[in-house]
Amino acid sequence: MKYDSIPGLTLPKIGFGTWGIGGGTSADPGKDAVSLTALRTALEVGYTHFDTAETYAGGHSEELLGRAVRESGVQRDALFITSKVKPSHLKYEQVLSACESSLQRLGVDYIDLYLIHWPQAGAKYEDAFRALNKLVQDGKVKHLGVSNFNVKLLRQAQGLSETPIVTNQVPYSLSDRSYVKNGVLEYCQKYDIFLTAYSPVEEGNLRANKTLEMIAKAHHASIYQIALAWIISQPRVITIPMSANPQHIRENFEAADIELTQSETEQLNNA
């Protein structure tokens, strides 16, 4: 596994996303067996960064992640767990309550990284960060970040946070470079903030092209592995692909071992 670092924090280039684990926007117990198999496989393969949120399966994703971790025997301090507070919970007491609920569902004493999941029109981020800062002070959260923030909001978050904003989690893939065009990637790289790419292979719907297929063939890899390798070849960029397929979970992890040439990277940059 490759790693990337900013001051005070080092993370694996590829983590495990949990959107779809345990259901969609609400819990679906019928998915528990498949979801637990996916989580157990990820832990066995060697993933250490797990990303979840209170909205994923209505909190059931957090419950299943916590269960899988406990049953795995992997030590808590060997893992890095990210969760998120939803935008309708950004008032002071709501943030504190949401975090407490996430801690209980996960069955842990602290969350490594806690994010504001989405911007909320009219939100008083001063209230939200007063609560987030308290969570860090109380040791319930180690690091703070945001998700889906543009540069203006990211800068505001930095001004309100008493500790460094360590990530902005945004959609980023070969076919979705909207957060390059709006300046977020450049800003993150300049100010030592991880850009955490979600939907890095378009939820398995990444469109193939001749360039991608040619490079994949040269590396005896799938187009999805090459897409991940391209993302993580960039400084300050990490990613959290999700799959419920054990083979794909392994392949995503192994994508970190692919070394693209400068020429291949440039071809993908222009693809």
Q: Per-residue pLDDT for 4 more than 90?
A: yes
Summarize pLDDT for 101-117 with one digit per residue, the tens: 999 999 999 999 999 99
Q: Are 252 and 241 in contact (CB under 8 A)?
A: yes
Closest CA to 250 of 78, 44, 5: 44
- Let me know: does 200 contact 231? Beta carbons within 8 Å: yes
Strands 194-198 and 237-239: parallel
Q: What distance in Å separates the CA atoms of residue 151 and residue 169, rounded to the nearest whole number?
A: 12
What was the pLDDT predicted at 204?
Answer: 67
| pLDDT for residue 36 is more than 80 | yes
Q: May I ask the CATH architecture of the domain 9-207+236-256?
A: Alpha-Beta Barrel (3.20)
Among residues 183, 181, 221, 178, which one has the least CA distance to residue 202? 178
Question: Please, what's the b/e burial string for 203-223 (b: 16 or more CB within 10 A of its CB; e: otherwise)?
Answer: eeebeeeebbeebbeebebbb
pLDDT at residue 151 is higher than 70:
yes
267-270: long-range contacts (C-beta < 8 A, 24 or more apart)? 267/211, 267/215, 268/174, 268/211, 268/212, 268/215, 268/226, 268/230
Contact 247, 206 (CB under 8 A): no
HSE value, Cβ hemisphere, 13 Å, CA-based, for 213: 4
Q: Are 129 and 156 in contact (CB under 8 A)?
A: no
What's the whole-number average pLDDT of the chain?
A: 96
- The β-bridge relationship of strands 9-12 and 3-6 is antiparallel
**CA geometry: angle at 60 spanning 56 and 63, to 5°?**
120
For residue 257, is pLDDT > 70?
A: yes
Share of the chain above pLDDT 90, in %: 94
Is residue 207 very low, low, confident or very high in pLDDT (cuts 50, 70, 90)? confident
Domain ranges of the chain: 9-207+236-256
Sequence-distant (≥ 6) Cβ neighbours of residue 140 within 8 angstroms: 99, 100, 103, 109, 110, 111
pTM confidence score: 0.96
Query: What six digits make up the tokens of 183?
Result: 């300046």
Task: Specify whether 56 is catalytic.
Answer: yes
> What is the mean predicted confidence (pLDDT) over 223-248?
97
Of 10-19, 57-66, 119-128, 202-211, the least confident: 202-211
Mean pLDDT of 121-149: 96
User: Which of 27, 167, 142, 35 lies closest to 80 in space, CA to CA?
Assistant: 142
Q: What is the mean pLDDT of residues 97-103?
A: 98
The single residue of 47, 56, 110, 198 carrying the catalytic annotation is: 56
